[in-house]
Amino acid sequence: MSFQRSRSYPQFTEEHEALRRTVRHWAKTELHPNGEAWEQARLFPREIFKRAAELGLLGIRVPEAYGGLGLDWWYTVCYAEEMAHSGLAGLTMALLVQSDMATPVIAEIGDEYHKRNFLMPAVRGEAIAALGVTEPDAGSDVAGIRTVARRDGDDYVIDGAKTYITNGTRADFITLAVRTGGKGFGGISLILFPTDTKGFRVAKKLEKLGNHSSDTAELSFEGCRVPARNLLGEENMGFAYIMQNFQGERLIGALSCLAGAQRALDATLQYCTDRKAFGRSLTGFQTVRHELVQLEAELEAARQLTYRAVHLVIANDDMAIREITMSKLIAGELACKVADRCLQLHGGMGYMHEAEISRAWRDARLITIGGGTSEIMREILSKLAGF
């Protein structure tokens, strides 16, 4: 038994589906079998970045001149959705940070030096990238960051700290948000920061509730001197760049978590079909099958909302901010709901560490926090509505 969902969405051509098949095969055959080992190790091999690059996944929308594929957002959708078959939300997040959070801003506003020395090595999987925004005292409140970059001749000297940084323990460079001006959003800039810079250190590798296969770190910057040419875009314009970059991050997060929730629901349907209680399968009980189809309907509705946001991004429509914010909010909350209800339907087995649904439950919890909390999404929508 399976849900009969349509894959004939009109936006996906045969070329899109070819990439989808490639990613699914890789996720199922090369990544998923190693899942538990990498979860236990709290890290996956660095070579996975190189393998992802060989498949073209680290530069899907990057122009061919800089090593990418130069394709459209629908290819990114296929990539994000099919990575769910790895069963490793942490690994998926680490790759998506590389391809869709830390590097798009370089492709968009970087100069030739930035693209040759940072973007291209990341697209080739030779350099690992991280996005450095969150600080101990500044999470969703980006305007409150305190890490300072002081201009000194041809350099910036950086002091401060970042926390909850994905890829942080082994990043080769960080797309780093720093304060170059006064208080508030008007004094923030973006700097490409090589992690071999003197004065930089990984202060702590953080232990998380879920997403165990990826590394997350607290970082320290003490008198770190980097060339002024590493400044991305204009000085003190970083807040605008970060807010724009957040749109892609939130959209990719919505796509990814919905795909993970769909995988969890599909597995639960199979479990409920096979599992017998009181002489019949669990799907023989009306309350069970009604819950399953209700979750399927809600996932399809959320998927359509998210696809609408992708359409608007491709059309360069200003409404995309509203649709992306809605997608992040709805997808995040729904992913948590689906994981929780699927675990419940697994009964005692769902509570066991060995059950993949328990991993899905742990991993799903992040999406309502990372990239802007659900509360922040509601506040953004309130302001867009004129409240």
Catalytic residues: 249
CA–CA distance, 330 with 381 (Å, rounded to integer):
12
Q: How many beta carbons lie within 10 A of that of residue 317, not counting itself? A: 13
Beta carbons within 8 Å of 377's beta carbon, 6+ residues apart: 325, 326, 328, 329, 332
Query: With contact defined as beta carbons under 8 Å apart, do 320 and 247 qualify?
Result: yes
- Please write down the HEC assignment for all residues of 169-217: CCCCEEEEEEECCCCCHHHEEEEEEECCCCCEEEEEECCCCCCCCCCEE
User: Could you tell me how many residues make up the chain?
Assistant: 387
For the beta carbon of residue 154, count every other beta carbon within 10 angstroms.
Answer: 9
> Tokens 């190189």, residue?
50
d(CA 262, CA 256): 10
Location of structure tokens 């892609």: 248
Which residues touch 343 (CB under 8 Å, ≥6 apart)?
350, 351, 357, 358, 360, 361
